[in-house]
Amino acid sequence: MCVRFFLESGVEELMRNYKVKTVDEKVSGYSAGDFYPAQNALVVLEDKSRVIMLAKWGFNYDSKKKIIVNARAETILDRPMFKDAARYARCIVPANLFYEWKAEGTGKKVRYRIGLQDASIMSLGGLYKLSFDKDLGPQLAFVIITTDAEEGVREVHPRMPLIIKEEWVDMWLSKDTPVELVEEILRAKTGAKFTVEKCEDAANNKIKEGMYGEQMSMF
């Protein structure tokens, strides 16, 4: 699963990296740093053109204010919550690194930061949709897709975010990409080499259920 990531790259750098010409006006509220479920983060998507937008991390789930923050690559084309977005509303969540936790010693969980050795920006595969908040009105929301961890990461956690390789970006974002190609990307391994570094203990960095007034879940 992926429940926290870090982004410090600026908007102009992201525009160059993803060949974006349009930036939504709400992006002015972007601040670099760690991103948690229920917070707003930057996403890259294609509508009439490729655009960077600010979106809330998590799909609303039920009346209990639960949110879904991750979607499994193996099932998104079948699950009712995700299948339409998996076909027509795919996005990229830019990140410089993501975090995972590993139980070590007496069950104590230790946090690791994970990035790419040969690139500063990772393209995390995501899905987006328009949701409706009774107080805020229509709001763009996203989830991060997870898949089986690749070599270098699986020693820390069995799951990791789906990473979209540079040569897959155009196909991933296009609404016209045949579902067979989407399936190939969902199953593919990047073969990337990762940097995996232990950082401060999770005891000081807990993501508590209800931290943002909502509960989070992973599908």
Q: How far apart are CA 160 and CA 101, in angstroms?
A: 11
Lowest mean pLDDT among 133-142, 189-198, 209-218: 209-218
Q: Which of 109, 71, 113 is nearest to 206 (CA)?
A: 109
d(CA 154, CA 114): 11
Write down the pLDDT at residue 168: 97
How far is 16 from 66, CA to CA, in rounded Å? Answer: 36
CA distance 147 to 185: 11
Pairing type for strands 194-201 and 108-116 reads: antiparallel
For 190-203, write each residue's pLDDT tens digit: 999 999 999 975 44
Q: Which of 188, 106, 97, 207 is nearest to 150 (CA)?
A: 188
Q: Which residue has the tokens 């969540």?
A: 93
Query: Half-sphere exposure (CA, 13 Å, Cβ side) for 115?
Result: 16
pLDDT value of position 171: 98
Question: What was the pLDDT predicted at 207?
Answer: 45
pLDDT, residue 5, reads: 98
**Which among 156, 140, 148, 142 is positioned nearest to 195, based on CA atoms?**
156
**DSSP reduced 3-state for 18:** helix
Q: What is the mean pLDDT of residues 137-165?
A: 95
For 81-107, write each residue's pLDDT tens digit. Answer: 999 999 999 999 999 999 999 988 777
| Separation of alpha carbons 56 and 44, rounded Å | 13
pLDDT at 218 over 90: no
DSSP secondary structure, 27-74, as one string: GGG---EEE-TTSEEEEEEESSSEEEEEEEESEE-STT-EEEEEEETT
Cα(111)–Cα(156) distance, integer angstroms: 9
| pLDDT value at residue 101 | 94
**43 or 205, which is more confident?**
43
pLDDT the model gives residue 178: 97
